[in-house]
Structure 1
Amino acid sequence: MRAEGLTRPRQLQGYATVRVERFLQRHGRELIGWDEVLDGGVSPTAIVMSWRGTEGGIRAARQGNRVIMAPTTYCYFDYYQTKDTSGEPLAWGGYLPLGQVYSFDPAAGLSPDERQFLLGVQANLWTEYIPDFDQTQYMLLPRLGALAEVGWGTATDDYDGFVHRMRRLTGLYDACGYRYARHAFVD
Structure 2
Amino acid sequence: MQKQALPIRPLILASTSVYRRELLSRLGLPFETASPMVDETPQTGETAAHTSLRLAISKAVALKGAFPNALLIGSDQVALLDGQQLGKPGTHERAVSQLTLMRGRTVAFHTAVAVHDAQSGVTHSATDITRVTLRHYSDAQIEHYLRREQPYDCAGSAKVESLGIAMIAAVESTDPTALIGLPLIALCNLLQQHGVEVL
User: TM-score over 0.5 for the alignment?
Assistant: no
Give the TM-score normalised by structure 1: 0.28
Give the TM-score normalised by structure 2: 0.27
Bigger-Rg structure (1/2): 1
> Per residue, is there more helix in 1 or in 2?
1
> Per residue, is there more strand in 1 or in 2?
2
